[in-house]
């Protein structure tokens, strides 16, 4: 408290000293009563006002105002006297009244209109408002008429140290890498003080650390926090709590202070190598495990975190490097050992591997702490399992000639039980792959025989599946595909590749190629097809045609002479013998039909019919079509004419909408009774419309009846 009182007195005297310097025309009263007296006038007038006032000589003016001071937060039972207003126009007869207006006039500041004393009636806070601008004026007491123009002056609220520093952004959080060197910057903090930073030391802050030593330090003025110890280890302690203090008055005794906390977290660096939890691992695996199955997991622990703890696993040595592989599980941070090739208990019962775990991300700053890897030994024991039979080959390819005899052996498959017990094997054919049952197999020795004849021309390949089953355990089966290729034998004679029909022009020339033909053979000889062509022996000396073999295995038919006439012979049949090169060779006779046709001068076929040739000269095909069209038109006209004639006789016909009962038919013919069926047509009586769509009128003469009947049937 004594220190606080001394600071308050210092704050009180400072504005009074400033007032003496800045107000040469004002009278300043004793500081003990905290009153400022502002007045003007001649030196004689001022000396009569008070003997305790110091007089400063200057030229005479009406009002001269400057500024007054009042301490903030000052409170007491009575209003605080801030200052006094006075004018040399006041003779002391109390005929002058002082008026105050402006900021806080009447609410915060009150003036005695007779004496001019200004009082503060409320406690002031500089942090809310630092100064007030007011206007003073002297008026006649009775008439309120201004005696002088109004004048402004300022009342400044003088600061005292009444606000402690505050950390507006606290609490703080910061990070710094572990193993940092001494003096590494962590972060900086900032505190604010609401007191006046210009006046005194009320807002001059000094920073210090209350808690967090000896790990961290702080710059007193800049508030920069730094590491105070080198090589702090995150694995030993990851988080630190630092308490920071900001104190005003330059840190001197009596100043106000504020605190905040800073949480410093050490971030990880790769300063620790991986380490296997154990040096030897044991795993067991059945020999029939599926490829790719996980056999076991090994893990190297790393005290680091995140990517600094990531390790890659490898098999670097051992007798099972070809059978096993290890992959890294990034999520679990361990190594997964998997099977990459089949195991065989009967061949090898155990394996030894040497695995290594190495950090992926290495920080060169800490390479001296290495090596950042570790090794461990893995022993894998193979367990025996009841395995299915194993064929001697994964696939089989057999060949058989298409003329092979039934029940002949095509080939053989073999299989064995890989287990120590070595169960006997039984063979069978999967009939889903041999629906026609063309093959059989011996269940004991696996020999495949032919059950039905084969034809290569129908199917070259037959794919079947052979099943091997253990006799002691029928659940242990294996399958193997067998491809059977049917080999060709020369059992098909060659023939024309298609149905050929040749056309020979009557105006053709000797030696002209009439037709080129080719042959085909369903067989497939190894050296390809080679055909021989010839005429029948009795037609070797054919007077009309000859043949010529071409290099492309085709045959050309040539005319021996010209002057062919389709009136004499329209069609020629030329038998050709085709032989293949098989052993023994096969042959067939194919007949080529040659038609004699009429052609244009450039050899284009126009007509091959004899009837067209005997038509009168000058009558073309277009004329024939025109004649046929005329005949059809005449027939249509005749049909229309007959139809119109029939419509003219419609009154003789009973219409469908007429009542049949109104048509009474009378005739004088005597009937023959129920048994007489020849005297009249019973159908006519049943159908009044008649057979031909009309009713005859029996009263007409016979001749007229016949004429009408002829007209209705269209015979006239």
Tokens linked to 449:
């025989």
Q: Tell me the C-alpha to C-alpha distance, in Å, between residue 345 and each of 285, 382, 390, 418, 593.
A: 10, 6, 14, 9, 77
Residue 633 lies in a domain: no
Residue 681 or residue 437, greater confidence: 437
DSSP three-state, residue 409:
strand
Instruction: Kindly give, in sequence order, each residue whose CB lies less than 8 Å from that of residue 369, ignoring residues fewer than 6 positions away.
Output: 271, 272, 273
Residue 584, preceding peptide bond in cis (omega within 30° of 0): yes
Residues whose CB falls within 8 Å of the CB of residue 470, separated by 6 or more in sequence, listed in order = 388, 389, 417, 423, 424, 425, 426, 476, 477
Residue 619 pLDDT grade (very low, low, confident, very high; cuts 50, 70, 90): low
Structure tokens at 418: 């890989």
What average pLDDT does this structure show over 188-215?
87
- In this structure, what CATH number is given to the domain that contains residue 284? 2.60.40.60
Per cent of the chain over pLDDT 70 is 79
Q: In the listed set 92, 125, 158, which residue is the last one of a domain according to the structure?
A: 158
Q: Is residue 412 over pLDDT 90?
A: yes
* Between 543 and 680, residue with greater pLDDT: 543
| Residue predicted with more confidence, 41 or 707 | 707
pLDDT given for residue 552 in this prediction: 87
Output the CA angle 278-281-284, nearest 5 degrees.
Answer: 160
**Residue 672's pLDDT band (cuts 50, 70, 90):** low
- The model's pLDDT over 254-274, given as tens digits with 9 standing for 90+, comes to 888 999 999 999 999 998 999
* Most confident stretch, 62-76, 235-249, 363-377, 691-705: 235-249
Banded model confidence at residue 527, pLDDT cuts 50, 70, 90: low
CA distances (Å), origin 29, targets 36, 52, 77:
6, 7, 23
Burial class (CB in 10 A: 0-12, 13-18, 19+), 675: exposed
pLDDT class for 651, splitting at 50, 70, 90? low
> What pLDDT, on the 0 to 100 scale, is given for residue 606?
78
Pick the last residue of a domain from 562, 591, 607: 607
Whether the pLDDT of residue 699 is over 70: the answer is no
DSSP 542-590: -SSEEEEE-TTSEEEEEES-S---TTT-SEEEEEEEEE---SS--EEEE
Q: Tell me how far CA of residue 261 lies from CA of 168, 191, 196, 237, 428, in angstroms.
A: 12, 12, 26, 18, 85
Does 588 lie in the same domain as 517? Answer: yes
Indicate whether 122 and 225 sit together in one domain: no
Choose the weakest-confidence range: 113-117, 489-493, 497-501, 616-620. 616-620
Greater confidence, 697 or 470? 470
Question: Do residues 396 and 455 both lie within one domain?
Answer: yes
pLDDT confidence tier of residue 127, bands split at 50, 70 and 90: confident
* Mean pLDDT calculated for residue range 588-594: 87
Q: Are residues 371 and 321 in the same domain?
A: yes
Domain-located, residue 263: yes
Calculate the alpha carbon distances from 105 to 473, 490, 529, 602 in Å: 115, 135, 131, 133
Better-predicted residue by pLDDT, 428 or 74: 428
> Given this model, what pLDDT does residue 524 score?
77
Q: pLDDT tens for residues 293-340?
A: 999 999 999 998 888 889 999 999 999 999 999 999 888 889 999 999
More confident residue, 545 or 77: 545
In a domain? residue 441: yes
Does some domain include residue 467? yes
pLDDT at 31 over 60: no
> What pLDDT, on a 0 to 100 scale, did the predictor assign at position 573?
87
- Which of 93-97, 326-330, 378-382, 480-484 bottoms out in mean pLDDT, i.e. has the lowest? 93-97
Query: If you average pLDDT over every residue of the chain, what do you get?
Result: 79
Q: Is the pLDDT of residue 90 over 80?
A: no
Residues 367 and 338 in one domain: yes
Least confident of 59-73, 74-88, 208-222, 245-259: 59-73
Q: Residue written as tokens 């006039």?
A: 105
Asked whether residue 523 falls in the same domain as residue 594, the answer is: yes
Q: What are phi and psi of 553, to 5 degrees?
A: 70, 20
**What tokens does 687 get?**
């159908």
Split into its structural domains, the chain has a count of 5
Residue 362 pLDDT greater than 50, yes or no: yes
Neighbours of 513 (CB within 10 A): 12
In this prediction, residue 170 carries a pLDDT of 84
> Tokens for 253?
């005794």
Same domain flag for 261 and 308? no
pLDDT band at 17 (very low <50, low <70, confident <90, very high): very low
603 shares its domain with 573: yes
Give the pLDDT confidence score for residue 630 in this predicted structure: 92
Q: What is the DSSP track for 607-639?
A: E--HHHHTSPTT--HHHHHHHHHHHHHHHHHHH
- Is residue 39 over pLDDT 70? no
Are 469 and 558 members of one domain? no
pLDDT of 485 > 50? The answer is yes
**Structural domain of residue 571, as residue ranges?**
495-607
Domain edge (last residue) among 90, 123, 158: 158
Cα(3)–Cα(64) distance, integer angstroms? 38
Look at residue 688 and tell me whether its pLDDT is greater than 60.
no
Residue 77 lies in a domain: yes
Q: pLDDT band at 668, cuts 50/70/90?
A: low
**662 within some domain:** no
Q: Which band of pLDDT confidence, cut at 50, 70 and 90, is reported for residue 211?
A: very high
Sort strands 415-416 and 390-391 into parallel, antiparallel or unpaired. antiparallel
- My answer on whether 417 and 437 are in the same domain is yes
Residue 695 confidence (pLDDT) above 50: no
Does one domain contain both 263 and 305? no
| Residue whose token pair is 């007077």 | 543
The single-letter DSSP state of residue 523 is: S
The pLDDT of residue 1 is 38
Buried b / exposed e across 466-491, counting CB within 10 Å, b at 16+?
A: bbbbbeeeeebebebebebebebebe
425: in domain:
yes
Q: Please report the pLDDT score of residue 94 as a whole number.
A: 67
Pair 545, 481 in one domain: no
Q: Please state whether the predicted TM-score (pTM) of the whole model is above 0.95.
A: no
How many CB atoms are closer than 10 A to CB 248? Answer: 26
Which of 28-32, 98-102, 669-673 comes out lowest in average pLDDT?
A: 28-32
SS3 label, residue 683: helix
What is the mean predicted confidence (pLDDT) over 27-55?
Answer: 33
C-alpha dihedral, 491 to 494 to 499 to 502, nearest 10°: -160
Closest to 134 (Cα-Cα) out of 36, 41, 11, 61: 36
What confidence tier does 514 reach under pLDDT thresholds 50, 70, 90?
Answer: confident
Residue 282 lies in a domain: yes
């Amino acid at each position: 408290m004594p220190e606080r009182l001394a600071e308050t007195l210092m704050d009180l005297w400072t504005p009074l000293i400033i007032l003496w310097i800045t107000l040469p025309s004002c009278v300043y009263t004793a500081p003990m009563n905290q009153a400022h007296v502002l007045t003007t006038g001649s030196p004689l007038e001022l000396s009569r006002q008070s003997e305790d006032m110091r007089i400063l000589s200057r030229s005479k003016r009406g009002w001269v105002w400057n500024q007054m001071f009042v301490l903030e937060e000052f409170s007491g039972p009575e209003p605080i006297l801030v200052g006094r207003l006075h004018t040399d126009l006041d003779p002391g007869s109390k005929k002058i009244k002082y008026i105050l207006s402006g900021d806080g006039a009447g609410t915060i500041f009150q003036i005695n209109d007779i004496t001019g004393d200004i009082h503060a009636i409320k406690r002031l806070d500089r942090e809310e408002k630092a100064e007030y601008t007011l206007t003073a004026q002297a008026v006649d007491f009775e008439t309120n008429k201004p005696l002088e123009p109004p004048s402004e002056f300022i009342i400044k609220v003088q600061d005292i140290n009444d606000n402690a520093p505050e950390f507006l952004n606290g609490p703080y959080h910061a990070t710094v890498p572990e193993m940092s060197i001494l003096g590494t910057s962590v972060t900086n903090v900032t505190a604010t003080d609401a007191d006046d930073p210009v006046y005194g030391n009320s807002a001059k802050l000094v920073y210090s650390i209350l808690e967090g030593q000896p790990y961290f330090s702080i710059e007193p003025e800049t508030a920069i926090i730094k590491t105070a110890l080198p090589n702090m280890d995150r694995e030993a302690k990851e988080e630190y709590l630092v308490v920071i203090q900001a104190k005003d008055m330059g840190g001197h005794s009596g100043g106000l202070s504020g605190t905040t906390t800073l949480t410093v977290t050490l971030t990880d660096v790769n300063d620790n190598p991986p380490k296997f939890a154990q040096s030897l691992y044991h795993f067991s695996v059945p020999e029939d495990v599926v490829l790719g199955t996980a056999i076991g997991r090994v893990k190297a622990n790393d005290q680091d975190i995140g990517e600094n703890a990531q390790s890659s696993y490898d098999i670097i040595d051992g007798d099972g490097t070809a059978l096993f592989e290890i992959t890294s599980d990034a999520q679990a941070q361990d190594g997964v050992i998997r099977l990459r090739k089949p195991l065989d208990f009967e061949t090898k019962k155990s394996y030894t591997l040497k695995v290594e775990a190495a950090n992926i991300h290495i920080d060169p700053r800490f390479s001296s702490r290495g090596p950042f890897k570790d090794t461990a030994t893995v022993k894998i024991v193979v367990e025996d399992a009841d395995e299915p039979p194993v064929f001697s080959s994964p696939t089989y390819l057999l060949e058989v000639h298409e003329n092979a005899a039934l029940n002949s052996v095509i080939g053989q498959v073999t299989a064995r039980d890989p287990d120590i017990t070595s169960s006997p094997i039984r063979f069978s054919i999967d009939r889903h792959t041999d629906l026609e049952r063309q093959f059989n197999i011996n269940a004991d020795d696996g020999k495949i025989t032919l059950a039905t004849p084969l034809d290569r021309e129908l199917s070259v390949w037959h794919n079947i599946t052979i099943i091997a089953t253990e006799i002691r355990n029928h659940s242990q089966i294996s399958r193997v595909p067998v491809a059977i290729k049917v080999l060709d034998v020369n059992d098909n004679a060659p023939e024309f590749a298609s149905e050929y029909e040749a056309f020979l022009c009557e105006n053709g020339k000797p030696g002209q190629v009439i037709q080129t033909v080719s042959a085909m053979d369903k067989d497939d000889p190894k050296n390809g097809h080679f055909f021989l062509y010839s005429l029948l022996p009795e037609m070797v000396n054919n007077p009309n045609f000859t043949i010529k073999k071409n290099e492309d295995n085709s045959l050309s038919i040539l005319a021996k002479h010209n002057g062919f006439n389709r009136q004499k012979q329209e069609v020629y049949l030329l038998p050709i013998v085709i032989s293949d090169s098989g052993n023994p060779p096969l042959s067939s006779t194919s007949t080529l039909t040659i038609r004699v046709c009429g052609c244009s001068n450039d050899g284009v076929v126009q007509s091959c019919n004899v009837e067209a040739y005997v038509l009168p000269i000058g009558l073309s095909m277009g004329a024939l079509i025109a004649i046929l069209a005329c005949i059809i038109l005449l027939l249509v006209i005749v049909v229309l004419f007959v139809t119109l004639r029939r419509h003219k006789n419609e009154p003789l016909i009973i219409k469908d909408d007429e009542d049949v009962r109104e048509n009474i038919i009378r005739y004088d013919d005597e009937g023959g009774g129920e048994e007489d069926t020849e005297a009249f047509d019973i159908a006519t009586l049943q159908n009044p419309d008649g057979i031909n769509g009309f009713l005859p009128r029996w009263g007409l003469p016979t001749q007229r009846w016949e004429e009408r009947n002829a007209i209705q049937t269209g015979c006239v």
